[in-house]
Amino acid sequence: MSDYLPEEVVLEILHRPKNFGCNFRIVGYVNGLFCYKQRRYIVWNPCIRKFIALPTPSVRASFACYLAFGFDSRTNDYKLVRIVFPSKNISAKKPLVEVYSVNEGSWRTTSGGDSYPPGVYTSDWSLSKAVSLNGAIYFAAEQCDARGSIVLSFDLADEVFRVISLPEGNFRFESDIDILVFKGLLSLTCYEYMGVKCCSVFVMKEYGIVDSWTKLFTIDLNRQLCRVLGFRKNGHLLVQKKEFLGWELCSYDPESQQVKTLGFCRLWDYSFADNYVENIFLLDKPNDAVSKRKVSKKRKCR
């Protein structure tokens, strides 16, 4: 994202597939491709104005379903992951994990749920999106017993869940976290609303090394700044500011703590930001194509 919000990017977002109406919810974004849900799951490339409608998943979401869209760099494939919990008691059974491969054109139930850590539930996917980085997807998650937050990853190649601990001594159970990507590094924002309202931003400089979590800065939320949406190339942050009629998009300079209004006002549920890149993926596929392939059988983890 450049130092300004280019008009052409805004226009591309407005030119979403019209066949599926206006009310849609973004599941995720990676490498210029969006995945969103309305009546169906859609993978959409605004650069070439093509999209594919995914077939109906085979696993029914009886209680809760969490979603993530990511890129498997080892197979050059884009995948949608569904984590389905069969009951309200998330500790009672392992979740069912279903993966849609754009290259294969089908859903496949995996054994990934066997590695899902017990007593962990992910945050509301409508507010906190999972991110894709280095062949895996990352969720903000909570531990029921410990009443604490963690980062949960799912490797798109070996289809195994892993837990990444947060910076020690920096979080309380009242904290709320989001996962972002900052300059190619796993990043998290921690919101604390008890006492001094603030948001701390961390990056993991060495993947998987808890001691490499480094705090970049802290944002004062008492100015009505509410949520960090993403990072800009000039080092500023895209944030939401609460206004009477909705949520205003602003640019925040962490050094000077100056806030610049960008003039967009949106409802909370539809706020989403990421670094846009052009991509010709889907160029060889017909528009609005729905895969007719059969659902693959369960695959063992490698």
Query: Is residue 77 very low, low, confident or very high in pLDDT (cuts 50, 70, 90)?
Result: very high
pLDDT (average), residues 94-122 = 89
What's the pTM value of the predicted model, to 2 decimals?
0.81
Q: How far apart are CA 197 and CA 199, in angstroms?
A: 7
Contact 154, 69 (CB under 8 A): no
User: Minimal CA–CA distance to 43: which of 56, 59, 57, 27?
Assistant: 27
CA dist list (Å): 197 to 115, 217, 219, 225, 226: 36, 14, 9, 10, 10
End-to-end Cα spacing for the chain: 37
Judged against a pLDDT cut of 70, whether residue 96 lies above it is answered with yes
Residue 6 or residue 166, greater confidence: 166
Judged against a pLDDT cut of 70, whether residue 173 lies above it is answered with no
Residue 214 or residue 273, greater confidence: 214
Q: How far apart are CA 4 and CA 114, in angstroms?
A: 45
Least confident of 41-45, 187-191, 240-244, 260-264: 240-244
What is the helix (H) or strand (E) element at residue 12, kind and residue range? Answer: helix 7-14
Rounded to 5 degrees, φ, ψ at 119 are: 70, 25
Contact 25, 126 (CB under 8 A): yes
Q: Write down the mean pLDDT value for the chain.
A: 76
Rounded to 5 degrees, φ, ψ at 121 are: -130, 145
Sign of CA dihedral 250, 6, 131, 108: positive
Query: Is residue 78 very low, low, confident or very high in pLDDT (cuts 50, 70, 90)?
Result: very high
13-29 residue pLDDT tens: 434 455 545 566 788 88
CA dist list (Å): 153 to 133, 141, 162, 194, 254: 10, 10, 5, 28, 28
